[in-house]
Structure 1
Amino acid sequence: MKSKIFKIAIFAIAVFEFSCSNFLEISPPKDKLISETVFKTDEIAISAMTGVYRSMAVNGYASGDFSSINSVCGAAADELIGYEPIISEFYENQISPSNAYIGSGLYATPFKTIYTTNAILEGLTSINGVTPPVKTQLMGEAYFVRAFVYFYLVNLYGNVPIQLTTDYRITQNAQRKPVEAVYQQILTDLKTAEGLLTDSYVTTERIRPNKSAVQALLARVYLYLKDWENAEKYASLVIEKTGTYSLVDLDAIFLKNSNEAIWQLMPAANTNSKDGNLFILTTVPFYVSLKDAFVNNAFDPNDKRKLAWVRNFTNSTGTYYYPFKYKIRSSTTVTEYSMVLRLAEQYLIRAEARINQEKIEIGIQDLNALRTRARLSTAYSTTSPLSLLSLTLSKTEALSALERERRVELFSEWGHRWLDLKRTNKANEILSLLKPKWQNTDILFPIPTLELTTNSAIKQNEGY
């Protein structure tokens, strides 16, 4: 029975994605088939939603693979060196609208996720066989995922269409909406999800979002909007759930179901996170490696994050550094899931929000919580441990320290460095000195060629 349910759910997800792909070419979705299969029972509806997570874990922007946000945004910023032609366009900030990653993994694939969540929401609100508690849970998850995907679309592309339906008659010529409107939709979806989800995880693992995941993303969104009060409020809501979340040893953070995990994606069967396979070097890099300047200059002396999270491959051609947050390059023994949201970011969000509200001392204390973890790692010992930040720093000094902490804590994760440079208006200042071809308009990625040719209402970003 379970096998049959799984096959039906996978078929339904395939219909979703096929319909979305054809939707870009203006073909109507197969709504009747979707409603008759996915929403017949609780089990099939649940499988449809978990199918969204499976798709995210293996395809494009969320996968930790070549076209993922982790790699392309790391190259676009000042973390990674890109070698292969497609990724080198990001590294040089000379991205073509026909770049394969732009056209599929970073634009079309996120919109496929949005299409699928819209289909799930429409199916759940119609007459169906799904029980009320399951319907509430799945709707909360769908609203959350839609908001999560839109957060990255608006930050990578700026103005984007807001698609809240599967009706191709409405969406086929949808215009780009202002950034402010997209953020408002993100907040609306997250507030709805917060009211639907509970603090409990519905499985024994942390692979389906709960209320804490919603609150963690709300904290980040409010931070980006410079709503310091709400950013502090929502980060605190997560941090204070000490019975569920805690900072763990540096080498244990990215293990599946670690206490630091707020939301993770489960990799494909019998595999670990793709990030390990992407980043860990066993030969001269052909795709990406860490920039020497980052490795040598970003970390304070005796910061255990450098010791725990950076490795190198050396041969006659030189030394090449790589991220080592994920320790498994390839193994059928599954120990690592892809980390999406984790507790350390909430400390960084709250620190920034507090410092900007002139609560400088307690903001620094949040930063020191992470530095304490980085200096007391049980895997290493030193006679000169990483120093804690002085609680008497000025606001300017504290914000500078915060920037450094975000850089070394979150490198190679979900494009944080690229997005931080953009939102703090430092991209031009920093990247123009490092990248000869840098232009101010490079802070946004180009709209893909296919989207421009299939939707006449869409206009290209400036500079492309």
Structure 2
Amino acid sequence: MKKILTNYKVLALALLVSLSGCDNILEPEPRLDVSTAQAITDKRSAEAALLGAYSELQSNNYYGFEYPALAYLSADEVDWSGSYNFYQQFDLNAIPAENSSLKSVWSQIYRVINVSNNLIDKVPAIEDRNLTEAQRQKILGEAYFLRALSYFDLGRAWGGVPLVLKPTIDKNSGAGIKRATLQQTYGQVLADLDQAEAFLPSLTSRARASKEAVWALKARLYLYQQNWEKAEEYSTLVINSGKASLIKPYSAFYKGKLTEESILELVYDNSDRNSHANYWLTSSKGGRYEWKPSASIIQDLRNPQVGGSRSAVLGSQVDNGKETVYGQKYSKIATGEDGAFILRIAEQYLIRAEARLKQSNLLAGLSDLNEVRKRADLTPLVLADLNAALLAVEQEREVELAFEGHRWFDLIRTGRAETVLGISDQNKFLFPIPNSEILADPDLGPEEQNPGY
């Protein structure tokens, strides 16, 4: 499989790395002439490369905008009202393999994988008296975690994908790598998380991978695999660690930065902006208002028995006697400093609630569900039926995790997409592999495309 050659530009004072934004993952030749094999030789270059991996993760083509946006556009949270038809195609669940945003996201995720591969490949052999063994292990642990997260995100969006586990050296790197199954892809995610868990210390920075972040992603992975016992086990480890907690009011975590709510959060600033707010806010707020909250999620968020204090994610204004409702979970348009909330503690309570209910533990499942509702100033739910409780968890995830990119994947993994979204063609439950990738990669021919595309 052809992948880009990753190159690092180390900024001397800050040790920040900027990989060329113009490089395309399908380019047969690298843009620059410095191979990844030469890039990591000591502690300084290893730390710089790791910062580069995080920089790629928070790119607008990944968590800085497009990956969560394509997910919430595909679900029932958002109505498209803009001018870009490549976004409308997600809203309509009619995505061609030529969609440019799809290609950008796929390529960007493999960028993160390639930088992670380089770290995993080179850091064990570094001989530098300034690099302690604990530092070496932490760098490796973060690289394994980032690769795991990347393959998890590819798997839930596309199904099985090519598993590239070595760094790109030249245009022939990765030749012969066929598309894996989803089971194999998730197996690689788990293997990487096991490595990360062995290497990483407990949480000290909410902006970096930690042992608690590994547990949280394992809990999510096991939820997707319907391994309810393991999902409960790992979400419990996170909850009992005491490293994160539900904070009040609900709006505090997204109005603030790196609050106790977050297990892993990406931080942005004016020079490295999160782009969500530009599409959510109205023109009077400085935005484009390309998409707006759907009628169904407005109804749920404003329902005092469902949304509670989470209605704060909705803003409104009256123009010519007509109310305009907009999302304001991302609102720092002047500075671009909205966070990307990759893992937070509320999700862990809801993972454990669902896992416990799936094991017929109604009281414990409701206890976790009500813990999240309590933070939203809602009264406890009292239910006697497991199915009703599971639907309550589904609705709770909708409002609690609104506009964070979970809803689409939740409805797919639970088999509820046809009922809730009205999508009868199950081929639409996976995104198409970008056509440019199919054409460029001899190991990923048309026969490997997802059915229906």
2:382 aligned with 1:398: no
Q: 2:56–2:111: 8 Å Cα contact kept in structure 1?
A: no
Distance apart, 1:292 and its partner CA:
1.4
Distance apart, 1:280 and its partner CA:
2.4
Letter in 2 for 1:400: L
Distance apart, 1:359 and its partner CA:
1.3
Aligned to 1:324: 328
Aligned to 2:442: 456
State how far apart, in whole Å, the 2-side matches of 1:126 and 1:96 are. 44
Aligned to 1:194: 197
Find the partner of 1:178 among 171, 177, 181.
181
Aligned to 2:86: 86
Deviations 1:146-198 (A, max 9, x none): 11011111111112101101255451342111100001000000011001001
Aligned to 1:345: 347
State how far apart, in whole Å, the 2-side matches of 1:212 and 1:317 are. 49
Cα RMSD (Å) of the superposition?
A: 2.5
SS in 2 for 1:258: coil
SS in 1 for 2:431: coil
Q: 1:137–1:196: 8 Å Cα contact kept in structure 2?
A: yes
SS in 2 for 1:339: strand
The verdict on how the C-alpha distance between 1:25 and 1:51 changes in structure 2, with shifts beyond 3 A counting, is: closer
State how far apart, in whole Å, the 2-side matches of 1:176 and 1:299 are. 44
Q: 2:79–2:91: 8 Å Cα contact kept in structure 1?
A: yes
Aligned to 2:5: none
State how far apart, in whole Å, the 2-side matches of 1:121 and 1:305 are. 44
SS in 2 for 1:256: coil
Distance apart, 1:337 and its partner CA:
2.7
SS in 1 for 2:376: helix
Find the partner of 1:10 among 17, 25, 46.
17
SS in 1 for 2:41: coil
The verdict on how the C-alpha distance between 1:32 and 1:427 changes in structure 2, with shifts beyond 3 A counting, is: same
Aligned to 1:43: 44
Aligned to 1:387: 379
The verdict on how the C-alpha distance between 1:363 and 1:124 changes in structure 2, with shifts beyond 3 A counting, is: same
Aligned to 2:362: 360
Aligned to 1:442: 428
Letter in 2 for 1:215: W
State how far apart, in whole Å, the 1-side matches of 2:39 and 2:275 are. 31
State how far apart, in whole Å, the 1-side matches of 2:217 and 2:394 are. 19
Letter in 2 for 1:113: V
Letter in 2 for 1:4: A
SS in 1 for 2:343: strand
Stretches of structure 1 that go unaligned for 5 or more consecutive residues are 376-385
The total of aligned residue pairs comes to: 430
SS in 2 for 1:312: strand
State how far apart, in whole Å, the 1-side matches of 2:271 and 2:109 are. 25
State how far apart, in whole Å, the 2-side matches of 1:365 and 1:137 are. 35
Aligned to 1:382: none
Aligned to 1:383: none
Distance apart, 1:128 and its partner CA:
3.6
Distance apart, 1:320 and its partner CA:
3.4
Q: 2:292–2:325: 8 Å Cα contact kept in structure 1?
A: yes
2:319 aligned with 1:315: yes
Aligned to 2:6: none
The verdict on how the C-alpha distance between 1:420 and 1:199 changes in structure 2, with shifts beyond 3 A counting, is: same
The verdict on how the C-alpha distance between 1:285 and 1:277 changes in structure 2, with shifts beyond 3 A counting, is: closer
Instruction: Trace 1:157-236 onto structure 2 (pairs within 5 A).
Output: 157-167=158-168, 169=172, 171-201=174-204, 205-236=205-236
2:154 aligned with 1:150: no
Q: 1:87–1:287: 8 Å Cα contact kept in structure 2?
A: no
Distance apart, 1:410 and its partner CA:
0.7
Letter in 1 for 2:181: P
Letter in 2 for 1:10: V
Distance apart, 1:115 and its partner CA:
0.9
Higher helix share: 1
Q: 1:54–1:266: 8 Å Cα contact kept in structure 2?
A: no
Letter in 2 for 1:99: N
Distance apart, 1:230 and its partner CA:
0.8
Deviations 1:335-371 (A, max 9, x none): x432211000000000011111111101101111111
SS in 2 for 1:451: helix
The verdict on how the C-alpha distance between 1:3 and 1:286 changes in structure 2, with shifts beyond 3 A counting, is: closer
Letter in 2 for 1:220: R
The verdict on how the C-alpha distance between 1:286 and 1:310 changes in structure 2, with shifts beyond 3 A counting, is: closer
Find the partner of 1:73 among 48, 71, 94.
71
> Given the two structures, how large is their TM-score scaled by the length of structure 1?
0.86
Aligned to 1:296: 299
Aligned to 1:240: 240
The verdict on how the C-alpha distance between 1:331 and 1:400 changes in structure 2, with shifts beyond 3 A counting, is: same
Aligned to 2:3: none
State how far apart, in whole Å, the 1-side matches of 2:27 and 2:288 are. 38
SS in 1 for 2:72: helix
Letter in 2 for 1:428: E
SS in 2 for 1:209: coil
SS in 2 for 1:253: helix
Distance apart, 1:318 and its partner CA:
4.4
Q: 1:219–1:349: 8 Å Cα contact kept in structure 2?
A: yes
Instruction: Trace 1:61-140 onto structure 2 (pairs within 5 A).
Output: 61-64=62-65, 68-83=66-81, 84=83, 85-104=85-104, 106-129=105-128, 130-140=131-141
State how far apart, in whole Å, the 2-side matches of 1:444 and 1:32 are. 36
The verdict on how the C-alpha distance between 1:248 and 1:118 changes in structure 2, with shifts beyond 3 A counting, is: same
The verdict on how the C-alpha distance between 1:118 and 1:48 changes in structure 2, with shifts beyond 3 A counting, is: same
Aligned to 1:381: none
> Given the two structures, how large is their TM-score scaled by the length of structure 2?
0.88
Stretches of structure 2 that go unaligned for 5 or more consecutive residues are 1-9
Letter in 1 for 2:121: E
Distance apart, 1:81 and its partner CA:
1.0
Distance apart, 1:273 and its partner CA:
4.0
State how far apart, in whole Å, the 2-side matches of 1:231 and 1:172 are. 36
State how far apart, in whole Å, the 1-side matches of 2:176 and 2:30 are. 13
SS in 2 for 1:406: helix
More moved, 345-354 vs 84-93: 84-93
Letter in 1 for 2:278: N
